[in-house]
Amino acid sequence: MTTLLLAIGTLAAYLIAYRTYGRWLGRRVFRLDAGARTPGVEVNDGRDYVPTKRSVVFGHHFTSIAGTGPIIGPAIAVFWGWLPALLWVLFGSVFIGAVHDLGALVVSIRSRGQTIGEAAGRMINGRVRFIFLGVLFMILALVIGIFGLVIAVIFARYPISVFPVWTQIPLAVAIGLWVYKRGGNLLIPSLIALAIMYGTVYIGAYHLPVDLTAWEIPASGTAAAAAGSSPYFNAVVIWTVLLLVYCFIASVLPVWTLLQPRDYINSFKLLLALGILLAGLLIAPFVGDGLRFVAPAFNDNPPADAPPIIPFLFVTVACGAVSGFHCLVSSGTSSKQIRCETDALSIGYGAMLLEGGLAVIVILACCAGLGWGVHDYNPGLQRYVPTLDAAGARLTGEVAWAKYYGAGSWSSMTLPKKIGGFIEGGANIMTAVRMPLTMGIGIMAVLVACFAATTLDTATRLQRYVITEIASALRLTPLTNRYAATSVAVVTGGVIAMIAGPTGPGSGGLILWPIFGAVNQLLAGLAFMVVCFYLIRHDRPVRFIVLPMILLIVVPAWVLYAQIFGAQGWLAGGRYLLAALGIATAMLQLWMVIEGLLMYRRAKGVAPEPLPPLDPRPAPAS
């Protein structure tokens, strides 16, 4: 019953927050104007600037910001207990994350669709633009590497998800061509595509799992085998390479070709999956032994190698509470597609609250859903069967939860375990509405993979913008070409994805996640600085963002210091690449904060530099 009350209570809190605090921000602080010309209408180049209906932009924006961030972060954070993770998600999303997303979106809209890095140069000063671009390059390289790795892990661990995920691509392209070339309606074909997608989930689950383990090259040497090393060229590595090739192609196409229609389909997919999960949560407390928490509310006896909850909770749960990556989506793609300025409230503030709701569902699935049991895939039966203990009994309750979270050490909590905890816990909840377990696992795995794919190619597109801006500033003309810039984006992300973890290449997800979280939250703090200067220059109130800004500047710096110089830090462990990335990011942050402090008094009430004139050449036909 506790799970049901928490689900209903958080949903009610988010609805109240949107209708009160969100509306106050839109009307009184940012003063959204339905009559203002948006960048999509003003520029409309048919490729990146495309004025689009609110529902379509919402689908793109939400699926891009969500990805697997609100899944992986909370699934790791419940290691410290479900209550701290839940409180940070709830209050963080309402008072920090949604404000951050809306603010970045509005600043970009009022800056003719400039990225947050370009806007920083106008709101603060020119040097800050270069600092911000450096931070953006680092965070996007991490996003491409980590989210590509996440999808590869899902494909390798859940072969039943492969066929449905790849089938979605031609479906989305066909819908994009139908809508934008022939003027067709987007809703009906998207619903048809959604029905086809669930048909492919059934086919993938029971008839066509795609397992690449036969292609793996074993680790050489008896020592490697004895240590439990994964194959050097394993399924995760193979899928990562294939996914990076895919995101190169997807990221150079016009947004209407694949990005918009696929994200629109994904938004329906999420709403349907959330609906099934919520129905399961409503029914589960009255089925069998109910749905109870099998995880502690607060873990007061964590393993010795686990990082302390303060400050690491605030960077482990990024998406779902607040995420700097969201400012890149807001200013990089969404601001260029919004057709009416007042749409920014639901897209910026509302989408973040929905993401917070997803994070709450993740917490409930990991901490209560797993208690109903864990499972292993049986290729002969082509379905998942209960995992049994040494005595032949089914693993349930706290014992089942311990399979994912009771390994005895922080370092043994691998990325597949965290993803698997949500997928299996969510599938267990779906069984309350008589969803077959194997089908439920397929739905959850496809949902996570599709969301991660959305974030992956959106991040690659954004990285292309950033590399082009850096190349233009440094007069590196070859890198201003979108294909060359995208190639650099893909290669750097691939290098990061292949960082070796506990079991070899492609298994470093848990190692990478803390630096992603720290750099991600640092970016959110810097984005708050840009929004703050926008409000200062326009004589608007800023008190409501001062504390979030300070929190998101101080805490990530604290985490980076602990990760780099701590007793078990990167320097002590010989992980010099991570240490170098962390030190470089911290130095850029310090430099930008100093520039902001020096500029504060001179900026108050002074309008930002005017935007450059528009290119007089006509926009290409879409």
pTM over 0.85: yes
Average model confidence (pLDDT) across the chain? 85
DSSP 3-state helix, strand, coil percentages of the chain (rounded to 5)? 70, 5, 25
Confidence of residue 166 (pLDDT cuts 50, 70, 90): very high
Q: Is residue 305, in this structure, part of any structural domain at all?
A: no
Which tens digit of pLDDT belongs to each residue from 446-501?
Answer: 988 888 888 888 889 889 988 988 898 888 889 889 899 999 999 988 887 776 55
Six token digits for residue 264: 């629109």
Q: Is residue 160, in this structure, part of any structural domain at all?
A: yes
Confidence of residue 112 (pLDDT cuts 50, 70, 90): very high
Confidence of residue 430 (pLDDT cuts 50, 70, 90): very high
| Mean pLDDT, rounded, for 582-603 | 88
Q: Is residue 491, in this structure, part of any structural domain at all?
A: yes
pLDDT on residue 550: 95
Whether residue 221 has pLDDT greater than 60? no
* Backbone region of residue 303 per phi and psi (left: phi > 0; alpha: psi in -120 to 50; beta: other values): beta
Cα pseudo-dihedral 575, 580, 581, 587, rounded to 10: 140
b/e for 80-109, b at 16 or more Cβ within 10 A?
A: bbbbbbbebbbebbbbbbbbbbbbbbbbbb
Whether residue 119 has pLDDT greater than 70? yes
Q: Is residue 111, in this structure, part of any structural domain at all?
A: yes
| Mean pLDDT, rounded, for 34-52 | 90
Q: Is the dihedral of CA 149, 372, 307, 585 positive or negative?
A: positive
**Residue 329 contacts residue 61 (beta carbons within 8 Å):** yes
Q: Is residue 62, in this structure, part of any structural domain at all?
A: yes
pLDDT on residue 233: 65
Count of structural domains within the chain = 1
- Alpha carbons 194 and 280: distance in angstroms, whole number: 21
Q: Is residue 616, in this structure, part of any structural domain at all?
A: no
Q: Is residue 66, in this structure, part of any structural domain at all?
A: yes
CA–CA distance from 386 to each of 42, 379, 428 (Å)? 57, 14, 11
**Residue 165 contacts residue 453 (beta carbons within 8 Å):** yes
**Helix boundaries (H) for 566-615:** 576-603
- Quickly tell me which residue has 């919402």 as its tokens: 58
Which tens digit of pLDDT belongs to each residue from 246-287?
Answer: 989 888 888 788 877 888 888 888 888 888 988 998 888 787
pLDDT on residue 472: 86
Domain region containing 479: 2-298+310-603
Which tens digit of pLDDT belongs to each residue from 377-424?
Answer: 887 777 888 898 888 888 889 888 888 887 566 766 666 777 888 899
pLDDT on residue 620: 45
More confident position, 6 or 214: 6
pLDDT on residue 503: 54
**Residue 70 contacts residue 447 (beta carbons within 8 Å):** no
| Mean pLDDT, rounded, for 313-342 | 93
Q: Is residue 618, in this structure, part of any structural domain at all?
A: no
Which of 309-323, 549-563, 580-594 is predicted with the least confidence, judged by mean pLDDT?
580-594
Which of 8-12, 20-24, 64-68, 327-331 is predicted with the least confidence, judged by mean pLDDT?
64-68
Q: What are phi and psi of 519, to 5 degrees?
A: -65, -35
